[in-house]
Chain A
Amino acid sequence: MPEATSADIATCESEPIRIPGAVQPHGFLLSLDRRQLATGAADAPVVQVSDNLHAFIGMEPAAALGQPLRNVIGGAADLLAPLLHRDQPRHRAGFLATLTLGAGADRRHDGAAGRSQFDVLVHESDGLLVLEFEPAAGSVDASLHHLYPLVGDFLNKINDADSIVEMSQLAVNEIAALTGFGRVMVYSFDKEGHGTVLAECLQDGYDGYLGQRFPAGDIPRQARELYLLNRIRLIQDAGYAPAALLPPDNPLTGQPTDLSLAALRSVSPVHLQYMRNMGTLASMSVSLVVDGKLWGLLSCHHAAPRRLSYHQRTVCEQLGQILALRIRNRADADELQFRLDVRRVMVGLLGGLTQGTDFIENLRSVMPDLLRFARAGGVAIVIDDRLISFGDTPDDQQIRDLAGWLSLHSHEDLFHSNHLSAMYPPAAAYIGSASGLLAMPISRIHQHYLLWFRPELVYTIDWAGRPPNKQGGDRAALTPRTSFDIWHEAVHGTSVPWHDAELELALEFRTTLLGIALERAEQMADLAEELGRANKELEAFSYSVSHDLRAPLRHIVGFSDLLMETAGNDNPERRLRFLANIKNAARLAGKLVDDLLSFSQMGRAALRPVRIRMGEMVNGCIERLGPDTLSRRIEWRVDPLPDVIADPAFLQLALYNLLSNAVKFTAQSDPAVIRITSERLPHEVVFHIADNGVGFNMDYVHKLFGVFQRLHRMEDFNGTGIGLANVRRIVERHGGRAWAHSTPGEGAIFSFSIPNNPPPDRE
């Protein structure tokens, strides 16, 4: 266990870690009243001391209280005084000076050189100016000029490291070499606060923890807050006897003295016992703060007491800061790279989704990409009664039940959990495939879901002994544990958590997906409209067959009956007329059948568009009309016409219909004048066929292009009433329009447009 973690198991949330009322005894503490500095710090009275004062300067703590600082630490006070006058905020324990204190220096403390040399730190706490004095020498001989190049060296190395693990390894190596701690490791907290050991550096005889995870509960909230405030903590000797403060409470406020920022802050006796039981007598932890959050810890252990001077600790703290900065840069870059990767998968997915016409089949084809997109083990799509699943998923009924639950309990655009069974107990039956769920509704109207499943990730917590809060015992009795056998705890029912970037991109994916679905819906609506029109035409077709085909049959029968009745009658003119009528009706019936067939073919045959020279096509039609117009004077005025892209057979039929109509309805005009002109518009070409014939009443223009609609008496202008219906059908299949305009008696203009780019033929 890292020190910090074990410490916090021992100090539960209620433990007063900020106000222990004592300091570690390797240094001593003196407090001044900040308001009494006016006449100089050397003359300011000491208001609080640690009761180990005598061991360092030979003065009884009680005797020191109320004395000017100069009387307690001698002439050194005059060296400190100017430094204390600087009016600067002291929200961290700051280094003031290294001083030699006078007679009475206790020889029990370190026999190393500079035994009477003290580093003096200062910080403020509730009106107190807290001075901490600690021996200036550590267990390793490291002077400032030796320490600072280390920092520069580390900076160079860490810049070459590519991954966070590599950087962490460099840091633990460096700190192990610098401090001589037997075990140095870096561990990081995930989103839930669980810790994972990323790197460690071990001396012989120290157990490794690399790769192990520690649950978030190890570090109580109060400890996390303290670790943000005070970024380095050292316990030099777990066997110490705390030096109590005199008086214990802050003499200015009467409240317990807040030692949050004190380097000498004494830790919980429970934790000390815990460390002794564990065989760890020295520990240090350095906070790794990234973006204002406790990202992880640099944690050091040693089996024997270790002393580190202020400067040594400061270098460790700086190494920690450098590591945290690099981690932040690296994490940003990693995050960016991760997002890029996910986005790349998404773009591929979307490409796949627009391949075919069946949206669900498209989804089916991109299942492997869907898995990769969310780093999931299984994926399922629920659309009405259809359920498609891929990979490792719960069974169909379980998925349907889950979708039903989601529809009732989640109204967000995205639902995610890495511990589904905690929210939805039935999921406990399939934690193996779906401990984690990312679900998104993919329809705004229906309960359609896209579900990603992540498998259970069983992780084992290897405790250095069963921690007290896992023993089920009485929490109030904080007793240090004595067993350090590795205790495994397996955590079930959770998956790898969903990454922020995955959630964000899933939302983006959903938006795009809905866009595609919407477009699909529009296409469906178009198709439905087209089908509806085709259906209407079919109805009109059958309606016409029953009406218009029956009429000639009835006429044939009728006139035949009449013919037979008049057999004995000698009215040859009348009989001839009946015969003519019969022949006429029979011919009309035949023509009706032909026209109806061509009309129905118009709807079925595929278009084969090519480039057409309209001028040539018009002239061809005029030639074909020639035999019927021999006896007439017709003035054709054909403008130069542009080329179009269209099916030549169909377009010729439409053109022929329009030109023959023009010929037909100009029968009474002499000369008939028929003009063919065109207009080129940005997206289409419009052709006009204008005649000087009888025209039609604009009141009935809406009926003009319907099947079997006639605006004239049959004997005036023969025809079956299909021609214009054909024209409209052909033009519309090319994506164009057909319309007409007329003033009765002055002729008519029939127009149609052909788009520059005909749409793909859907029929």
Chain B
Amino acid sequence: MLKPILLVEDNPHDLELTLIALERSQLANEVIVVRDGADALDYLHMRGAFADREQGNPAVVLLDLKLPKVDGLEVLAEIRGQMALKSLPVVMLTSSREEQDLIRSYELGVNAYVVKPVDFQEFVRAISDLGIFWAVLNEPPPGSQRYVKPQ
């Protein structure tokens, strides 16, 4: 059973573009989409609307920085502060390279920080690389399952 990718994105256009990019990377992982930071935490904590979801953490969280209600940095801080979630790979996706965001993200222990390229081909490549790296190449934390790309 492959672990899903959790995509946290509020902007519908960004969401559409990201989903297209993930589709093109031909990852077999299911992509779970939530639309704000509060929902992302509900999913991870298996509460609220996600109380009945299947057990287990996602392979990676693709986290938009600017989100309604609870923003990306707050979600990241919450993940790193929880025993059950702290080893979860988190990739921050953002529109711009603001130094304060970069510093804060790394301080909070982000695994990667990606500025969404304006060019769509590059965007597709970046998302695809991320997916493959974190869902495929990366050695997951103990107890996780590694995805083997079907031949």
> Which A residues are closer than 8 A to B by beta carbons?
543, 546-548, 550-555, 557-562, 581, 584-585, 697, 699-700, 703, 708-715
Report Cα–Cα, A25/B14, bound state, in Å.
127
Our pick among A555, A562, A700 for the contact of B14 (Cβ within 8 Å) is A555
Q: Do A710 and B68 touch (CB < 8 A)? A: yes
Q: Would A557 and B69 be within 8 Å (CB), given that A547-B98, A714-B11 are in contact?
A: no
Interface membership of B13, Cβ < 8 A: yes
Q: Do B17 and A555 touch (CB < 8 A)? A: yes
Interface membership of B113, Cβ < 8 A: no
Q: Do B118 and A581 touch (CB < 8 A)? A: no
* Cross-chain pair count, CB within 8 angstroms: 76
Q: Do A561 and B68 touch (CB < 8 A)? A: no
Q: Which residues of A contact B13 (CB under 8 A)?
A: 551-552, 555, 558-559, 581, 584-585
A709: nearest chain-B partner, CB-CB: B68
Report Cα–Cα, A557/B10, bound state, in Å.
19
Q: Do A557 and B98 touch (CB < 8 A)? A: no
Report Cα–Cα, A400/B38, bound state, in Å.
63
Q: Would A714 and B95 be within 8 Å (CB), given that A558-B17, A581-B16 are in contact?
A: no
Q: Would A713 and B14 be within 8 Å (CB), given that A557-B118, A558-B120, A561-B120 are in contact?
A: no
Q: Which residues of A contact B51 (CB under 8 A)?
A: none
Interface membership of B107, Cβ < 8 A: no
Q: Which residues of B contact A584 (CB under 8 A)?
A: 13
Report Cα–Cα, A585/B66, bound state, in Å.
17
What per-residue 1/0 map shows which CB atoms of B85-110 lie under 8 Å from chain A?
A: 00000000011101010000000000
Interface membership of B54, Cβ < 8 A: no
The A interface is mostly helix, strand or loop, or mixed, namely helix
A700: nearest chain-B partner, CB-CB: B69
Report Cα–Cα, A554/B120, bound state, in Å.
8
Q: Would A713 and B96 be within 8 Å (CB), given that A561-B119, A561-B120 are in contact?
A: no
Expressed in whole angstroms, the minimum distance between the Cβ of B20 and any Cβ of chain A is: 7
Q: Do A708 and B66 touch (CB < 8 A)? A: yes
Report Cα–Cα, A552/B95, bound state, in Å.
10
Q: Which residues of B contact A553 (CB under 8 A)?
A: 118
Report Cα–Cα, A585/B38, bound state, in Å.
25
Q: Which residues of A contact B143 (CB under 8 A)?
A: none
Q: Which residues of A contact B117 (CB under 8 A)?
A: 554
Report Cα–Cα, A659/B52, bound state, in Å.
39
Interface membership of B150, Cβ < 8 A: no
Q: Which residues of A contact B20 (CB under 8 A)?
A: 562
B69: nearest chain-A partner, CB-CB: A700
> Which B residues are closer than 8 A to A by beta carbons?
10-14, 16-17, 20, 35-36, 38, 65-66, 68-70, 94-96, 98, 100, 116-121, 123
Q: Which residues of B contact A562 (CB under 8 A)?
A: 17, 20, 120
Report Cα–Cα, A558/B125, bound state, in Å.
13
The B interface is mostly helix, strand or loop, or mixed, namely loop
Q: Which residues of A contact B68 (CB under 8 A)?
A: 709-713
Q: Do B10 and A554 touch (CB < 8 A)? A: no
Q: Do B118 and A550 touch (CB < 8 A)? A: yes
Report Cα–Cα, A555/B66, bound state, in Å.
16
Report Cα–Cα, A585/B17, bound state, in Å.
13
15 CB-based A-B contacts, threshold 8 Å: A543-B98, A546-B96, A547-B66, A547-B95, A553-B118, A554-B17, A555-B14, A557-B119, A558-B123, A559-B13, A559-B120, A562-B120, A710-B10, A713-B68, A714-B10
Expressed in whole angstroms, the minimum distance between the Cβ of A588 and any Cβ of chain B is: 9
Report Cα–Cα, A713/B36, bound state, in Å.
8
Q: Which residues of A contact B10 (CB under 8 A)?
A: 710, 713-714
Q: Which residues of A contact B16 (CB under 8 A)?
A: 581
Report Cα–Cα, A498/B70, bound state, in Å.
70
Our pick among B12, B98, B121 for the contact of A714 (Cβ within 8 Å) is B12
* Max chain B Cβ within 10 angstroms of own Cβ: one of A546, A552, A553, A558: A558
Q: Which residues of B contact A713 (CB under 8 A)?
A: 10, 12, 35-36, 68
Q: Do B119 and A547 touch (CB < 8 A)? A: no
Q: Which 6 A-B pairs have the closest CB atoms?
A: A561-B120, A546-B96, A555-B13, A558-B120, A550-B95, A710-B68
Q: Would A547 and B94 be within 8 Å (CB), given that A562-B120, A711-B69 are in contact?
A: yes
Q: Would A554 and B95 be within 8 Å (CB), given that A562-B20, A713-B35 are in contact?
A: yes
Expressed in whole angstroms, the minimum distance between the Cβ of A559 and any Cβ of chain B is: 7
Expressed in whole angstroms, the minimum distance between the Cβ of A564 and any Cβ of chain B is: 9
Expressed in whole angstroms, the minimum distance between the Cβ of A664 and any Cβ of chain B is: 15
* Max chain A Cβ within 10 angstroms of own Cβ: one of B10, B36, B68: B68
Report Cα–Cα, A558/B116, bound state, in Å.
11
A550: nearest chain-B partner, CB-CB: B95
B36: nearest chain-A partner, CB-CB: A713
Q: Do B96 and A557 touch (CB < 8 A)? A: no
Q: Which residues of A contact B100 (CB under 8 A)?
A: 543
Report Cα–Cα, A714/B11, bound state, in Å.
6
Report Cα–Cα, A710/B35, bound state, in Å.
12
Q: Which residues of A contact B123 (CB under 8 A)?
A: 554, 558
Q: Which residues of B contact A546 (CB under 8 A)?
A: 95-96, 98
B94: nearest chain-A partner, CB-CB: A547
A542: nearest chain-B partner, CB-CB: B98
Report Cα–Cα, A585/B120, bound state, in Å.
15
Report Cα–Cα, A715/B120, bound state, in Å.
22
Q: Do B69 and A554 touch (CB < 8 A)? A: no
16 extra A-B contacts, CB within 8 A, seeds A548-B66, A709-B68, A711-B68: A543-B100, A546-B96, A547-B95, A547-B96, A547-B98, A548-B95, A551-B95, A554-B117, A555-B14, A557-B118, A560-B120, A561-B120, A581-B13, A699-B69, A713-B36, A714-B12
